[in-house]
Structure 1
Amino acid sequence: MSGYRLHDPTALLAGLVAPFLVARALVPFRTELSVTNEALVMVVVVVAVAAFGTSAAGALAALSAAAWFDFFLTRPYGRFVIDNGEEMLTVVLLLVVGLIVSRLAVRVRRLRTVVVADTAHLTSLRESARMAEDGGSPEEVVEYVRRELVGLLGLRGCRFQYGSLVGHFPRLEHDGGLWLRRGDRITQYAEWPDVETELRVFGGGHYYGRFLLDPLPGRPLPPEEACLVAVALAAQAGTALDTAGLSHQG
């Protein structure tokens, strides 16, 4: 969902290098700018790295900013030593504030991602409901849901199978979990298996078929919210099939 990884090398490199470059660029102006203004510039750099990188990159940027602020912008220049108590306090505050705002920036980005994802999920559900209400054929609703499942769950492919219950497949359940039940043995998955996974479709209490999901093996399962939306989409397909009065199993 996020596309960001905790140890993204590019983000970590930016967290290490960006504060150095900015602190070095401020050297010609260090006699003109106040220590507070210089520190604020470094905080902005930390926020920028955290906003476009990761929490680890933001923390690294805060540490790097404090170190290079000390080296380039506090006396004695060019050494990791501070003689002035006020400047020492500024460095400490820069580090603390940098760590706090980097964490906040990452959290804001994640919340934005969640809002975008939730909006996309709502659009999918609303569109499938609209198709059913406007008299779209059940086949059209099933096809729409099939396409949505591919993008929603990050699948290689997906097909709908009417009626059949042949075979033992891992099943995406109504609680958003992925389970395989064979006799008394129950297996729960934290990542996609290397076989097709079924998402059963019911309407009016009747079983009509199943979506057979073709995942990318070894990939982590999508967030629970996405799995629950997938279940809701399958339920809407079931409602469309039941409303059309198609034959069912059981």
Structure 2
Amino acid sequence: MFRASPLRDLLALAAGLAAPCLAALALVPFRTGLSHTNAALVLVVVVVAVSALGSRTAGAVGALSAAACYDFFLTRPYGTFDITASADIETAVLLLAVGLIVSQLAARARRLEVFHVTDAEHLARIHRTAELAGSAHSVDTVVEHVCRELTGLLGLRACRFEYGTLLGRPPRLTEDGSVTVGRRSWDVDAVGWPDGEIELRAYCNGRYLGRFMLTPGPGPAASHEARLVAVTLADQTGSALAQAGPVGQG
């Protein structure tokens, strides 16, 4: 899941508020000879730039700021929020509407770009594990590799693998990417990981072969997409265990 940092969000909001005003001020010396449509287009470009770097909220703030600054600096009577010409009123309203629309589209495009990069990283993890599972001479090599992948993927503090029988009833990361605690479903997206270790079982053709014990790190819980990738990595481990035959306890 894409998460912008608080500092970036704050800077984007500040830019959304200030950048359109600075652009409008820069146009003040030319406002008598510059058409209001062209001035509005300049401000729209500024709003798009803010939205591409920040969030939807920053884009919306930028659109509101652009409409207000256009009114204050570039329409008669200058230096007030009054507009006397109907054409100027229409331009201000259109500037606000277009600014809001393009800000949302720009923010969405930025978020989709991040998702695309994340998807590529997920596929790379799965591909690396599949290659190793097919070529490694020791199943322990695969297990250690998947532990490292899970640690990076899920933001874990620690990860270990248990062969053999199930002991206890720790929280469990299930095949559909959800988390259960006992018989109850745990809303990991809303409240984060449950306390303690979380098990992720490795199967092959429905046969249980071992489990990863995951210790979450201090950050936010991984996205549902990342948890599904973790389940896929555990399944690849299960396949490698099945091909290797019986293994000793570890």
Q: Which moved more, 1:155-164 or 1:98-107?
A: 155-164
User: Residue 215 of structure 1: CA displacement?
Assistant: 0.9
Q: How does 1:140-159 map to 2 (within 5 A)?
A: 140-159=141-160
Higher mean displacement: 240-249 or 72-81: 240-249
One-letter amino acid matched to 1:225: E
**How far apart are residue 133 of structure 1 and its match?**
1.9
1:112 counterpart SS class: helix
Aligned residues: 245
Structure 1 unaligned blocks of 5 or more? none
CA contact (8 A) 2:136 2:142 kept: no
C-alpha contact (below 8 Å) 2:28/2:74 kept by paired residues: yes
Query: How far, CA to CA, are the matches of 2:88 and 2:138 in structure 1?
Result: 72
Instruction: Quote the offset at 1:135 in angstroms.
Output: 3.9
Map of 1:221 onto structure 2: 221
Task: Name the TM-score, length of structure 1 as normaliser.
Answer: 0.91
Residue 25 of structure 1 deviates from its aligned partner by: 1.7
Please state if 1:44 is matched with 2:42.
no
Bigger Cα displacement from structure 2, 138-147 vs 200-209: 200-209
Distance in 2 (CA, whole Å) between partners of 1:248 and 1:140 is: 14
Distance 1:89 1:136, change over 3 A: farther
Partner of residue 8, structure 1:
9
TM-superposed CA distance for 1:54, in Å, is: 0.8
Partner AA of 2:63 in structure 1: A
- Please tell me whether the aligned partners of residues 154 and 226 of structure 2 are also in contact (alpha carbons under 8 angstroms): yes
Deviation string 1:138-195 (CA, Å, 9 cap, x unpaired) is 11211121111112112222222222522321100001101112xxx42423211221
The aligned amino acid for 2:125 is S
Contact (CA 8 Å) 1:43, 1:94: kept in 2 or not? yes
Q: Which has the higher helix share?
A: 2
Amino acid at match of 1:132: A
Aligned position for 2:173: 172
Cα root mean square deviation, aligned: 2.0
Q: SS state of the match for residue 51, structure 1?
A: helix
1:33-182 matches, within 5 Å, as 33-181=34-182
Partner amino acid for 2:187?
Y
Identity fraction in percent: 55
SS in 2 for 1:156: strand
> How far off its partner does 1:220 sit?
4.4
What's the CA shift string for 1:1-40, capped at 9, x where partnerless?
3231699322222211111111112212222322111111
What is aligned with 1:238?
Answer: 238
The residue aligned with 1:27 is 28
Q: Does the 8 Å CA contact 1:208/1:248 hold for their aligned counterparts?
A: no
CA distance in 2, matches of 1:52, 1:25: 22
- Structure 1 residue 48, shift from structure 2 partner: 1.1
Answer with 208-217 or 53-62: which moved more. Answer: 208-217
- CA distance in structure 1 between the aligned counterparts of 2:209 and 2:83, rounded to whole angstroms: 74
Contact 1:180–1:187 under 8 Å retained in 2: yes
CA contact (8 A) 2:71 2:83 kept: yes
**Alpha-carbon distance change, 135 to 216 in structure 1, aligned in 2, over 3 angstroms:** closer
Please give the per-residue CA displacement for 1:100-139, whole angstroms capped at 9, x wherever unaligned: 0000011111111111111111111111111122244211
The TM-score normalised by the length of structure 2 is 0.91
Residue type at the aligned position of 1:98: G
